[in-house]
């Protein structure tokens, strides 16, 4: 094998490393999407749960560390919804449910896209590794011991 083949091996090796880094970045984004989807699912479940509650019902509100405070439900039909960039607006319970539902649908589309990209990258990494191994084996056979 010539130095041209050795250069090809180096190129494939660099490509594999870049693909692995890209896969890690996509996996990180996928983890973030999953975390946001879980958070939105909890919000949706909470909105479903308070539908049967009346004004001034007593609730337990999580404050972190598996700790809660008791609070009264002042107006179960008005929900403050974060819109992004630190902006929140008051919405009806149904509007809030619709917003959360739309966000979950968009996250699911994003999740599917990221999973597809990850699968394509994994396939390319496998192809490159097989090509690398075959070329490396050829190179070892051609060089005298």
Give the model's confidence band at 45: pLDDT under 50 very low, under 70 low, under 90 confident, else very high.
very high
Domain count, the chain: 1
What is the SS3 assignment for 44? helix
> How many residues does the structure list for the chain?
145
Q: What is the pLDDT of residue 144?
A: 62
Q: Indicate the average pLDDT of the chain.
A: 91
- Residue 50 or residue 69, greater confidence: 69
**Percentage of the residues of the chain whose pLDDT score is greater than 70:** 97
What is the SS3 assignment for 70? strand
pLDDT, one tens digit per residue, over 85-130 is 999 999 999 999 999 999 999 999 999 999 999 999 999 999 999 9
Residue 25: closest CA among 123, 121, 108, 125: 121
CATH number, domain of 134, equals 1.10.287.370
Q: Rounded to two decimals, what is the model's pTM?
A: 0.78
CA distances from 25 to 57, 119, 125 (A): 45, 13, 15
CA 120 to chain centre: 17
Residue 133 CB-half CA count within 13 A: 6
- The residue segments making up the domain with residue 14 are 3-142
Residue 71: pLDDT over 70: yes
């Amino acid at each position: 094998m010539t130095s041209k083949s050795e250069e090809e091996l180096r190129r494939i090796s660099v490509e594999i490393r870049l693909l692995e880094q890209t896969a890690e970045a996509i996996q990180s984004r996928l983890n973030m999407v999953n975390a946001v989807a879980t958070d939105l699912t909890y919000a949706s479940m909470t909105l479903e749960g308070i539908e049967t509650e009346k004004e001034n019902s007593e609730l337990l509100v999580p404050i972190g560390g598996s700790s809660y405070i008791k609070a009264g439900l002042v107006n179960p039909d008005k929900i403050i919804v974060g819109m992004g960039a630190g902006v929140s607006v008051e919405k009806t319970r149904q509007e809030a449910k619709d917003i959360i539902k739309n966000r979950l649908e968009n996250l699911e589309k994003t999740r599917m896209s990221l999973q597809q990209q990850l699968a394509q990258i994994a396939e390319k990494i496998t192809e490159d590794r097989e090509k690398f191994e075959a070329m490396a084996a050829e190179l070892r056979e051609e060089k005298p011991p």
